Homo-oligomer: A and B are copies of this chain.
């Protein structure tokens, strides 16, 4: 029987107190139970690039997800990659570019709504920015590659206010034209594209439109960042060439979705393509260039930190990830 008389409790407390005073300052450390911050930083000449992982999708692999390939073949590819079958895990990697004059965010991830909708599996940009020491209020420019939700939804917070309150929103001219065109919207028969129209119009609130400016292919969007038309995935899809001194990085946006599927199999058409045939032609042209020029590619849907080179293979391309560098 346990004696809980006052005398024993007092005596017990005294023993505990004595023991505590003898305890060293250290002791067993409990698990931290918090994932690492997903950010990575490197230089392109004088330009500083911070890759901020927005997380990853976990979409059920529908029969039409790769529209011209049976689901079994996609599952076999996933299995060979030691990845979960019947799901598509596509990473999201926005980047912050500091050219010494402006702080630009290229693509925004899925935003606060994405974070809530995925239980934090994506929509993590704000967490990553905080870890990277970047205040959203200091972003001068948000540059969108195209109008799919994982690239523009992060413009807004969950309450539809601006996530980057002081930023101009720079968007590709033909992309804006397409998704804002009521005729194009009324003519589409593809439910995914239709959803894209509805979402783009949801995100482009009057407040966003007030801050919006269009950019054109071949022109500098900001100093050191040149837009390059890479259409097909969406009609006005653009990539960005980041250049300083003799260094160049090709920020490809969605020329491929995750490279472990779509660069290795450039003929695979992802259901999200508005024009899959044009997307494939663009992909092959750009990947031939990346391989021939041994260019560094920064891929929005590449595995974090999403920096790679491209080698040509017998039936496609293979991403060769750049090793994590401990220094800038």
Contacts and interface: CB of A to CB of B under 8 A. Distances in A.
Contact of A102 (B28, B101, B328): B28
A203 B12 CA distance: 45
Interface stretch (A130-138, A176-184, A206-214, A225-233): A130-138
Contacts of A53: 324, 326
**Is the interface on chain A under 10, 10 to 19, 20 to 34, or 35 or more residues?**
35 or more
Interface string A273-287: 000000000000000
Interface stretch (A1-9, A32-40, A191-199, A234-242): A32-40
Given A50-B32, A309-B82, A120 B323 contact: no
Contacts of A305: 324
A33 B48 contact: yes
A264 to B, nearest CB: 12
Interface of A: 24-41, 48, 50, 53, 55-56, 80-83, 89, 91, 98, 100-103, 120-122, 124, 132-135, 137-138, 140, 166, 294, 303-305, 309, 311, 320-328
Copies of this polypeptide in the complex: 2
Given A137-B25, A138-B28, A321-B303, A328 B41 contact: no
A52 to B, nearest CB: 10
Contacts of A24: 166
Contacts of A89: 323
